[in-house]
Amino acid sequence: MRLWSWLRKNYQKRLFPRKRDRQKGFTLTELLVAAVIAGIVILSAGQAMNAIMFRERDMISEQQRRTELNRAIDFIADDIRMSRRVNATCDLDTCTTTAQQAVTNSTSTLGAFNPPLGSIGTSILYLEIPLGFHDCDANGTLDNPQGAATGPTEYIDRVVYDVRPNTTTWMGPRTINRYGRIPNLSNPQVPVDPCSAPQASIVVADGITTSGANLGTCNGTVSGAGGGFLACVDTLTRVGVTRVTLAMGGQVKKALTTSQIYEFNSGVYNRAQDGLTGTDIANYLNTSPGGVSSCTVPSILNQPRPTAETLITTAGLQIGLATQAASGGTLTNANRVATQSINASTTVPCGTALNYTFFPQITGTCTVPNILGQSAPTTATNTLNSSLFLGNAQAVGTTGNSCNVQTQSPSAGTQLACGSTVSFTFRPPQNQNQSCT
């Protein structure tokens, strides 16, 4: 009994609570208020997380966009560095014009574009990139990947950059498109395959704005005025090099804010001019405007091509187009200069290009001419040198006209490989003090 009394006294409230104690807890109102507060907290946390994710996405998009536009400018700049002419079809300062006019002019100097340019937008840059002298077989395979200093055909890649409205799945409002051969990055020996076909309407960059690019001060000709892709072409006549300043405005779409425009500027010089050094460019930049030097055109007629080109660069001029003459080649004048575009001793601005033609190389078989009766060995030798060389010339006999050719070997009409020798005999002069000349 005592135990029960003690338990009842000490644990009754715990073991047998009163009815009203068992009903204590949260009311419905309290639960609803708590649920609302918890919902607000969760919603705020979710919005904060979304904002963080969108901001991170914007940062990634911005960085990717900057990288894409930088790569586009670098790619265009590489083309300019390899080019011989920018917005021009000759090397004179007066030939620098708009890109569209240069495209039109090039069809008369280099022929029609194949494949065609197609429907292009506003032309910004026209480039002529020399690819060297090569031979392409019937299958379009490059026979001499190393190239040569001379050859039957000098390949020139015409590259055209234009900006046009976006009509495809590319990001608008405009795209920069390229026409030209695709660089061959896998073969450093042949960075551009001359036997490959040009590609038209290759998108280099999208999301180009309709305005926003800023060139700053331009001392040359501006292409694409007021657009999102601009080029300032400034021909430095003194050294025959072109300085190009590029400006590009690219649009970046953002999730949290409105789209943003990023501007890029880059300056580049073309480097495909022969005989130019960094000192040449530095000398020009240190010369006040109008201080263009004058140079005298040398005579390169009948000079071997390497000698002629050395004379051109030594005179302060640029080597222009070298074209093989259709005919007139002999053993003595093969690969020698036949004509030059500017007469010798003419004064022109330094850096002017001097074009020339050269005689073709004689190949195949040649017919031995008839030299019997020629009045002197010199005359006979000149006749042979049109296709053959002089072999043994011997003075024999005592009859016949003095110095006339008496016999020849092989006989006239014989077919020989061009460059072979022909021997002959001639009647010596009657007076020993005379000579056959």
**pLDDT score recorded for residue 235:** 66
In this structure, the answer to whether residues 185 and 280 fall within a common structural domain is: yes
- Is a pLDDT exceeding 50 seen at residue 97? yes
Pairwise pLDDT comparison (355 vs 93), residue with the higher score? 355
- Is a pLDDT exceeding 60 seen at residue 18? no
Q: Which two tokens stand for residue 376?
A: 């002197």
Distance CA 133, CA 155 (A): 6
Given the structure tokens 């090099």, which residue do they identify?
241
In this structure, the answer to whether residues 405 and 270 fall within a common structural domain is: no
**pLDDT score recorded for residue 238:** 43
Q: What is the number of helices (H) and of strands (E) in the chain?
A: 7, 19
In this structure, the answer to whether residues 114 and 255 fall within a common structural domain is: yes
Residues 6+ apart with CB under 8 A from 301: 337, 338, 339, 340, 344
CATH code of the domain in which 323 resides: 3.30.10.20
Residue 290 binned pLDDT confidence (cut-offs 50, 70, 90): very low
Q: Which two tokens stand for residue 311?
A: 């004379």
**pLDDT score recorded for residue 388:** 73
Question: Exposed, middle or buried: residue 292 (CB in 10 Å: 0-12, 13-18, 19+)?
Answer: middle
Whether 141 is covered by a domain: the verdict is yes
Name the 3-class secondary structure at 260.
Answer: strand
In whole angstroms, how large is the CA radius of gyration of the chain?
41
In this structure, the answer to whether residues 391 and 280 fall within a common structural domain is: no
In this structure, the answer to whether residues 300 and 165 fall within a common structural domain is: no
In this structure, the answer to whether residues 68 and 200 fall within a common structural domain is: yes
- Is a pLDDT exceeding 50 seen at residue 285? no
Distances (CA, A) of 11 to 3, 14, 354: 12, 5, 119
The conformation of residue 93, written as its DSSP 8-state character, comes to G
Residue among 194, 253, 240 at smallest CA distance from 61: 253
Residue 80 binned pLDDT confidence (cut-offs 50, 70, 90): confident
Whether 32 is covered by a domain: the verdict is no
DSSP 304-353: BHHHHHHHHHHTT-EEEEEEE-SS---TTTTTBEEEESS-TT-EEETT-E
Cα-to-chain-centroid distance, residue 51: 46
**Domain end (from 320, 335, 358):** 358
Are 391 and 421 a contacting pair, CB within 8 Å? yes
In this structure, the answer to whether residues 298 and 156 fall within a common structural domain is: no
In this structure, the answer to whether residues 89 and 127 fall within a common structural domain is: yes
Instruction: Give strand ranges (E) for 174-254.
Output: 174-180, 199-208, 221-223, 229-236, 241-252
Q: Cβ of 147: how many Cβ atoms within 10 Å?
A: 17
Pairwise pLDDT comparison (70 vs 59), residue with the higher score? 70
**pLDDT score recorded for residue 392:** 77
Residue 416 binned pLDDT confidence (cut-offs 50, 70, 90): confident
Q: What is the pLDDT of residues 293-318, one digit of tens each?
A: 578 899 999 888 888 888 888 888 88
Q: Which two tokens stand for residue 150?
A: 């001379």
In this structure, the answer to whether residues 349 and 240 fall within a common structural domain is: no
**Domain end (from 284, 309, 331):** 284
Q: What is the pLDDT of residues 132-189, one digit of tens each?
A: 776 676 555 665 555 444 455 677 889 999 988 887 788 878 888 999 998 876 666 6
In this structure, the answer to whether residues 387 and 273 fall within a common structural domain is: no
In this structure, the answer to whether residues 317 and 394 fall within a common structural domain is: no
**pLDDT score recorded for residue 321:** 83
Question: Exposed, middle or buried: residue 244 (CB in 10 Å: 0-12, 13-18, 19+)?
Answer: buried
| Mean per-residue pLDDT over the chain, rounded | 75
- Is a pLDDT exceeding 50 seen at residue 292? no
Counting the structural domains of the chain, the total is 3
Distance separating the N- and C-terminal Cα atoms of the chain: 164
Q: Are strands 229-236 and 241-252 parallel, antiparallel or unpaired?
A: antiparallel
Name the 3-class secondary structure at 186.
Answer: coil
Whether 230 is covered by a domain: the verdict is yes
The number of CA neighbours under 13 Å toward the Cβ of 19 is 0
Whether 200 is covered by a domain: the verdict is yes
- Is a pLDDT exceeding 90 seen at residue 414? no
Whether 183 is covered by a domain: the verdict is yes
**pLDDT score recorded for residue 196:** 83
Are 404 and 435 a contacting pair, CB within 8 Å? no
Whether 325 is covered by a domain: the verdict is yes
Distance CA 352, CA 339 (A): 17
Pairwise pLDDT comparison (98 vs 386), residue with the higher score? 98
Residue among 221, 200, 118 at smallest CA distance from 158: 200
Residue among 245, 309, 241 at smallest CA distance from 277: 241
Whether 1 is covered by a domain: the verdict is no
**Domain end (from 230, 260, 284):** 284
Are 341 and 356 a contacting pair, CB within 8 Å? yes
Q: Which structural domain range is residue 300 located in?
A: 293-358
In this structure, the answer to whether residues 335 and 373 fall within a common structural domain is: no
Whether 435 is covered by a domain: the verdict is no
The conformation of residue 162, written as its DSSP 8-state character, comes to E
